[in-house]
Structure 1
Amino acid sequence: MLPDIVTFWHGPMDALRQTCLRSQLAAGHKVTLYSFDPIPGLPAGVENADAEAVLPHAFSERLRPPQPDGSWRDWTTLQFSDFFRMKLMAMGLGLWLDADVVLLRPVEIDLAKPYFAWERSRRLGNSVLYLPRGHQIVRAFEALMEQEELTPEWLSLSHRLSFAMRRLGGGSQRLSDLRIAIYGPPALTILAKRSGDLQKALPKKSFYAVHSEPKLFFEPSSYLGIVTDPEVIGLHISGKGRSKQPAVPGSLYAWATERFA
C-alpha cells in the first residue's frame, strides 16, 4: 500500500527541506506537514495541518522550559518530534518521514507490520517510521507520556547511572537534558527488540546510505550508483550545518535540487 506521509516542522524552512518534501510528493504520496504556525515557502501540494490537534505545544515545556521570548531551546524540536511521531502512529495517520528525507521511489508498506530501517549496525533510525495502531512500541510511548517526569522504564542502565550522577551533582533534574536522542533511535531500538520486531528492519542502505557521511550528499561525488540502486528507497540527510548553504555543482544535493525543482 502507498501510505500518506506525515511529518512535523517548527520554525523557518530551508531549501533542503523544501526539496525533500517535493521529492516525497513526486513519489506519488500525499504529504501532510504538521506545525503550530503556518510555514512560509511550503511546497505546493504539501498540506499544512495543525500540530496542536496531535500533541499540544505545552508538552514541550515538559521536555525543556522555553526561552524568555517563548521560543524553543536547542534540543526541544528534535525531542518533541520523537513524541509527535508516536502520537501520529497512535492515531493511525500515516508513515512518518523526517522533513529531510529525499525520497527516490515510492514507499510501499503493509499496514499490519512495522516499517523502519537500520541507521547504524546496532541502532534503528526513526527518521522513517510506521507502526500499526496499538503496537507495543506505541503503547510504551503512550504510557511514558502519562508520566510527569518522562522517564522511560526501558532506559538503559548506563543512562540511569548517568542521570543519577547528574542529579546527585546538582545538575539538571530533567532526563531530556541527558542526551538529545534519549527518546529517539535508542528508544526505538530497545523497544523493537523487546517486541520482537528487529528482524523486520530494512537494511541501512534503504534510507541511511549517506546519513553518517553527509559529504556524499553535499560535496561533488559519483552519486549515480546511489540514485540508481533499487534497494535505496530514500536518503535521510544529516545536514551538519550545511542545509542552508547553496547546492554545490556536481553534488547529490545539486542533482536532487534540479530533479525535484
Structure 2
Amino acid sequence: MLWIEGPLSFLEQLCIKSFLDVGQHVRLYTYGPVTNIPEGVEVRDAREVLADDEVILHKRTGSPALHSDKFRVQMLAKVRDIIWADTDAYCVKPFTTENGHLHGWLAAHEINGGVLALPADSATLYDLIDYTNHPYRIPHWLSPKQRRPLIDMALAGETPHASDMPWGIWGPRALTWLLRDNNEARFSQPQDVLYPVTYRDRRAMVRSNGNAERFLTENTMSIHFYGRRMRSFILNRFNGIPHPESMVGRLVEKHGIDPHAAPLQKKASTDDLVDASDE
C-alpha cells in the first residue's frame, strides 16, 4: 500500500485493519508523516521504491494516480512475494496466488489493478515498467480519436507528457490491454473475487438499505470501495461518518474502528493516492 502523507481516515484504517485481522502482513509505504496508522503495520519509506522527485500529477485533475500506477509496478519488480493493494481495498479473506498473478475483472471489458500481483517473468509487468518509465510514449490502448491529436502534437515537436494525456493512461486501460496482448488476461479473476460490487452499485455500500452484502460470493477475496467516489459521497451525505446500518458502518464496528476519531475530511488531491478507475 502507498499513502503519500497526512492522516488516514476511518476508511483507510478499515481497509488496512481488514488485512491484519485475517492474519496478513501489511506494508505501508509513505513519503511524509502519516498519522492514524493501525497497530501492527510495517511502515516503510516509499523512496525505497520510487524517488519523490518522480511524483507525477495529472495536470487536469491534480491527481497523483499516475504516480500510484508507476509505484505499484516498480514495487512488484523490486520486492519479492508481495501483492499490491489500494488503500480502498477491503480484505474479505487472505489474498493468495498459485501462479504469481492476482488481478481481476472490474467490468466486462476492464481489468483493474487495485489489487495486483504479477510474477517476475510476466511480460505485462515488463511492459508496464517500460511505459511508466517513458512518460512521453503514446500508448497503443488509446482510441484512434484520442491518439490522433497526441500524434499530431508529437509530429509538431510538442510531444505530450503522460500528465497531459487522458485520465488513467497507466491505469486499468493499460493493464487490460497489456494483459490481453501478452495472453495473461486468462489469469484474471472473475469479477466476484476482487470487485463484487460494481461501480454502478457502489452507493449500496454506504446506504442503510443498500444490502450490498448480496453481491458477495464464497469466492470473494476483496471489496473495492471506489476510494475518491466513496469518500466524496460519505463526506457530502453523511458529514464524513458512515451510516451505522450501511455495509461500511457495519464493517467499521466489526473491526473496532471509531469513524468519529478519524472522519473523512476535505483534502488536497495530493494527500492521497486515488484509484485510477475512480474517475
Per the normalisation by structure 2, the TM-score is 0.79
Gaps of 5+ in 1: 1-6, 66-72
2:19 maps to 24
Deviation of 1:236 after TM superposition, in Å, equals 0.6
Per the alignment, do residues 90 and 123 of structure 1 end up closer, same or farther by CA in structure 2, a change over 3 Å counting? same
Tell me which amino acid in the other structure corresponds to 1:225.
Answer: R
Residue 65 of structure 2 corresponds to residue 97 of structure 1: no
Q: How does 1:18-57 map to 2 (within 5 A)?
A: 18-57=13-52
1:3 maps to none
Distance in structure 2 (CA, Å) of the matches to 1:139 and 1:160: 23
Gaps of 5+ in 2: 257-279
Q: How does 1:19-168 map to 2 (within 5 A)?
A: 19-61=14-56, 74-93=61-80, 94-110=82-98, 112-147=99-134, 149-152=136-139, 155-164=142-151
Deviation of 1:216 after TM superposition, in Å, equals 1.3
1:242 maps to 233
Measured against aligned partners, the alpha-carbon deviations of 1:65-109 in whole angstroms (never above 9, x if no partner) come to 8xxxxxxx8444211010100001111340011110111111111
> Is the contact between residue 92 and residue 133 of structure 1 (CA under 8 Å) also seen in structure 2?
no
Per the alignment, do residues 109 and 58 of structure 1 end up closer, same or farther by CA in structure 2, a change over 3 Å counting? same
Distance in structure 1 (CA, Å) of the matches to 2:108 and 2:77: 28
Distance in structure 2 (CA, Å) of the matches to 1:155 and 1:17: 32
Q: Which deviates more from structure 2 when the two are superposed, residues 11-20 or residues 242-251?
A: 242-251
> Is the contact between residue 124 and residue 185 of structure 1 (CA under 8 Å) also seen in structure 2?
yes
Per the alignment, do residues 151 and 51 of structure 1 end up closer, same or farther by CA in structure 2, a change over 3 Å counting? farther
Percent of aligned pairs with the same amino acid: 24
Larger RCO of the pair (alpha carbons < 8 Å, separation 6+): 2
Deviation of 1:168 after TM superposition, in Å, equals 8.9
Tell me which amino acid in the other structure corresponds to 1:242.
Answer: F
Distance in structure 1 (CA, Å) of the matches to 2:123 and 2:19: 28
Per the alignment, do residues 64 and 118 of structure 1 end up closer, same or farther by CA in structure 2, a change over 3 Å counting? closer
| Two-structure CA RMSD over aligned residues (Å) | 2.6
Residue 211 of structure 2 corresponds to residue 222 of structure 1: yes
Deviation of 1:167 after TM superposition, in Å, equals 7.2
Distance in structure 1 (CA, Å) of the matches to 2:151 and 2:103: 32
Alignment equivalent of 2:220, drawn from 222, 226, 232 = 232
> Is the contact between residue 64 and residue 176 of structure 1 (CA under 8 Å) also seen in structure 2?
yes
2:264 maps to none
Distance in structure 2 (CA, Å) of the matches to 1:148 and 1:104: 36
> Is the contact between residue 38 and residue 48 of structure 1 (CA under 8 Å) also seen in structure 2?
no
Deviation of 1:156 after TM superposition, in Å, equals 4.7
1:192 maps to 179
Tell me which amino acid in the other structure corresponds to 1:193.
Answer: R
> Is the contact between residue 138 and residue 147 of structure 2 (CA under 8 Å) also seen in structure 1?
no
Residue correspondences, number? 245
Residue 5 of structure 2 corresponds to residue 11 of structure 1: yes
Tell me which amino acid in the other structure corresponds to 2:35.
Answer: P
